Structure 1
């Protein structure tokens, strides 16, 4: 008995196919992940004939909805926590200027040949007479055992037909810890310019899967070695390299960034915290400067970098809402805890950091600790010790002053009502003085103290209360 097919669903599909005189197979990721002992909730069924016909028959038996996509010849239903997609076996051919294939009915062998990689081309038969038999014409099992990503047919044809497969090769290598076979990798290099016909939406879906991999730097190293990086993410590519003047060199900011990304990946599965790690130094190439006395500097790169986030997210087709603002904030603030750890940690500085970071303070600290990548162990140990002091101070200030996400007790509406003002510069100035006084510890985060300060500042501006 093939334990990959122990669920009754597979026998049921096989029986329906037999009744209709068709051959049916489970193919692709479900088969691959069974051998890799990875969970898989997506099941792809290939039918030599009409996949839609088998799906609709199964749907009637299970009394469940079947979504049919006639233009694509596919159907999908959900069953026992799985998403099961049916398609008829087909063969494909492509024109050089298009990603849209010319599709014809085909055999199971034709269908396996059109798959991207050998490890994704394996299939289990579901028909009663051959139930559970592995159909593996391209030695996908051998490649699984040797941790190899390889195309089932000519690699140039595979990648020219659907250039997204180049990125998928890198994604699978990153997710699984596999190597891309030499000829397959050289074909990626040869065909890299073809990536230009692929939509950004498809690219970012694969890139996010790389970002969520256990060691995401593998993917970006492969992008770089293949020549794809400068085509799909030139802003990251410009971080590469070391420049030396007068015997003074700066570090390779690309390699540093990948180390920070991996450090964050060890601590968090938060996709957008990982994006913040990848982009935290993105402003450095625009701010790089050399002073013969002090060497290289990147002053203000956190400000420049934070301003680059929105256009980058728009270009990459990443969401422009809260996720973008979160990354923007972390990039802008990523140096602040480092500065605090190098200086005496004052209550005022900690209050301001808490106020600006809000609920994201813990993730900001995770990013900042990941940013310590020095080869000097003593330096790393000193920084991490100082960061722990900053964390302790953050906890103390938060417990005492309730600063995180605080809103000053006096708002602009109250100021305008009290002094009969329309929105104006004076209202903003009074609000700013009250906020700064609370953050500096001059007054407590308290209504009465804030009100008294409002009266004091208003008097300086010659404002009188409205009767």
Structure 2
């Protein structure tokens, strides 16, 4: 036992590399083991598929491997890192870095960075492969290499240099490969491992990558960005990115793939102008200037793209014109804004100076600016309610969008100006701050060859194509003409108009949808007023939200909104709305499939804009949120997600599903106003078949949002299916009357709730009193009548009529949903289709002619006539008169009243 402990406590050296180890990493670990023969080799995570197959099948015996789970981290005294020097690239092994007295040796070919792991001994060269460095050391030390070891090491060089075709390949790589060939490296084995044949799955994914690619030309460099999604991890993704770069002849490509719950980013570059290793280093990845990768957790593809573009902004050498440096839209405040309100604006947008405009839009120019320091001094002196125009700086210069860096620098520094407006045609397009200028000047001074120009607000990551012919095929001429007129009106008003959202989504789903939503880059309400006036329509506006509804004489409606962004002051609150651009307007929406926009302006009519790969998700039938705070900000989107999933036959993406689970677990719905839940629930119940969505609510434990004690019995699914069948049956009768179909489904949902729980539900959801009465007292009364219909064996038609008269269609259908009795169903359906429409032709005037004194006797006689007619005793008007006369005669002679024998008179309703 003592011997074992001594062995366990012996100083331990381990050799490791980065997670997702490739051939270069494996070859480098093998070479390092030759330099440290006492060391154990540890893989920090998964290896690439090709590597695993090769490794397991043939060469495992060459390595002195230790399993990660069996390793005593505290016993490690020396750590040998190969092919990496980044803390975030070695997985759980980064815990070893905190071991006291740890000695670190690094062998790597990646460019150095400030946050690299500090080493006691480091061998670094800019070669095509790390194993090239180690091969040179082994050669210098005359350490023998077997043919099998030479094969593995040479394989690492071939793989990481792209068979000596990558720009990162150096003379040392050729020399190292030549030496390994002299040591017996087998080129047949290497060729077999390097050459990969496409399988159908790879071909399909590569096609998706090419179809989804979006191109940008930055300083003459062609950069492609593409994004795909797979449910499972795809090990050959980097191989496909390399193939795509070659096939499409792209200078640089950035490919994103959402696999399971992670976004993998792979980049390839064939130009010195683009250092993809440095760019992906900004989002937690790394690599060479020509090849790099990153893994992003807890983000959607849209969010990761945003991170990537921010990294490009930071590393691209910007064009030095005002339009490229400015931040847009400019954050402005009107002169009557109070100091307290201005402080909130500065804090919300994390800025230090605020432009003061004649109004908040910027269309009327500006009058000055005010700084954070001035505001804070004003608040210190209790001047919270004083308008900022009282303390703003009014001496302020501005520049044209085409102003160069010299003019910008002169006006900001020369005038000691904190903020510089960028203006064109009396409109404020954006602002340049002193920080913007400082960052540009610092980037100018860097001697890097791998800086990128900064993307301006207009060079957004959108993919566009013209779909005019598709619109002509799919849309009625009247709708197409209206869209053309909207675009022409927008151009006359010098603004951009887009048709967006569900209308465009359903266009590509081949579903009919004439609910037109128009977004205006500008003042949407002013546009709607002008268009309505020109087309003879009415308008209804919502100034708070910047929206309007145009109502045509024939009742057709168009919704118009200003392009806007929203922010939420706390979870589940209503959004605060501000003016913005079409991209920001799309980004605030719920799901990627709702972010398509078609421009309507002449010259660009029919240009489809897809910022967030909506077309790809529509094609794949996947529902995804745009950012991972989506359900935190607006939990009602959860209901919408499940409704869309079932309506379109889509699947909710894995990340989106986990975000729903999180929203339920964190109970973000508790702050949600009941009427907002009711609005979403009502939309679900109005679906053609609401049952599947309601069952999905049950899957996510969301029915408790309606009421915590909502009772779900074992017959719940059967009830929902029956409700669909019953309402479909009624609709097929083509009865010329309206009814609330959704109300039948709602009553089915709360079927097992008592009056107290029902009232609590109606109060919580703020249901209108007339519906609250229907769902409560009327529903329970209906259930009592239904019990009589089910129990009584024999009933005349008149009995059924008297039992059901007065009930609305919703209640009649609800009874048919609830009953399992065939006899009761038959009685209810006969009443609904036949009996309820039975009337008699005689009236009180006819009884008056029979010299009957008006009074309660009239209603008794007429009721008796009706019951006789319901039971089939009376057929003609003459029959009714004769029956009434006989009834009157009996009354006058005080004979027993006429009644229909329940056993023999009339047709049995059963």
Q: TM-score with structure 1 length normalisation?
A: 0.68
DSSP 3-state at the match of 1:260? helix
Structure 2 match to 1:36: 509
Cα separation, 2, equivalents of 1:367 and 1:398? 17
Q: Does 1:130 align with 2:592?
A: no
Structure 2 match to 1:94: 568
User: What's the offset of the Cα at 1:148?
Assistant: 2.6
User: What's the offset of the Cα at 1:387?
Assistant: 4.2
User: What's the offset of the Cα at 1:358?
Assistant: 0.6
User: What's the offset of the Cα at 1:439?
Assistant: 9.0
Cα separation, 2, equivalents of 1:136 and 1:152? 13
Structure 2 match to 1:17: 490
Call closer, same or farther: CA 1:63–1:96 in 2, change over 3 Å: same
Larger radius of gyration: 2
Q: Does 1:272 align with 2:272?
A: no
User: What's the offset of the Cα at 1:267?
Assistant: 2.7
Cα separation, 1, equivalents of 2:720 and 2:515? 31
Call closer, same or farther: CA 1:330–1:95 in 2, change over 3 Å: closer
Residue-by-residue CA offset, 1:277-306 (whole Å, 9 max, x unaligned) = 3333334xxxxxxxxxxxxxxxxxxxxx5x
Structure 1 match to 2:549: 76
Alignment counterpart, residue 26 of structure 1, candidates 493, 499, 505? 499
User: What's the offset of the Cα at 1:135?
Assistant: 0.9
Structure 2 match to 1:356: 803
Call closer, same or farther: CA 1:454–1:314 in 2, change over 3 Å: farther
Structure 1 match to 2:822: 384
User: What's the offset of the Cα at 1:325?
Assistant: 3.4
Call closer, same or farther: CA 1:83–1:198 in 2, change over 3 Å: farther
Q: Quote the RMSD (CA, aligned, Å).
A: 4.2
DSSP 3-state at the match of 1:130? coil
Cα separation, 2, equivalents of 1:188 and 1:20? 42
1:91–1:114 CA contact under 8 A, matched in 2: yes
Structure 1 match to 2:639: 167
1:121–1:136 CA contact under 8 A, matched in 2: yes
Q: Does 1:261 align with 2:719?
A: no
User: What's the offset of the Cα at 1:134?
Assistant: 1.2
Cα separation, 2, equivalents of 1:56 and 1:369? 49
Call closer, same or farther: CA 1:28–1:129 in 2, change over 3 Å: same
User: What's the offset of the Cα at 1:25?
Assistant: 0.7
Residue-by-residue CA offset, 1:409-450 (whole Å, 9 max, x unaligned) = 9xxx968xx9xxxxxxxxxxxx99xx99x9999xx9977599
Call closer, same or farther: CA 1:365–1:151 in 2, change over 3 Å: same
Call closer, same or farther: CA 1:455–1:255 in 2, change over 3 Å: same
1:212–1:271 CA contact under 8 A, matched in 2: yes
Specify every segment of 5 or more residues in structure 2 that has no aligned partner in the other structure, as ranges.
Answer: 1-467, 732-740, 841-846, 848-853, 871-879, 897-910
Alignment counterpart, residue 59 of structure 1, candidates 517, 520, 532? 532
Give the structure with the larger helix fraction: 1
Call closer, same or farther: CA 1:99–1:169 in 2, change over 3 Å: same
User: What's the offset of the Cα at 1:139?
Assistant: 2.1
Cα separation, 2, equivalents of 1:125 and 1:393? 54
Specify every segment of 5 or more residues in structure 1 that has no aligned partner in the other structure, as ranges.
Answer: 241-251, 284-304, 374-382, 403-408, 419-430, 457-467
Between 1:386-395 and 1:175-184, the stretch displaced more is 386-395
Call closer, same or farther: CA 1:184–1:395 in 2, change over 3 Å: closer
Cα separation, 1, equivalents of 2:500 and 2:828? 53
Q: TM-score with structure 2 length normalisation?
A: 0.37
Call closer, same or farther: CA 1:113–1:454 in 2, change over 3 Å: farther
1:95–1:101 CA contact under 8 A, matched in 2: yes
1:26–1:44 CA contact under 8 A, matched in 2: yes
For 1:183-332, list aligned pairs within 5 A.
Answer: 183-192=655-664, 193-236=667-710, 238-240=711-713, 252-268=714-730, 270-283=741-754, 309-321=758-770, 324-325=773-774, 328-332=777-781
Call closer, same or farther: CA 1:398–1:81 in 2, change over 3 Å: closer
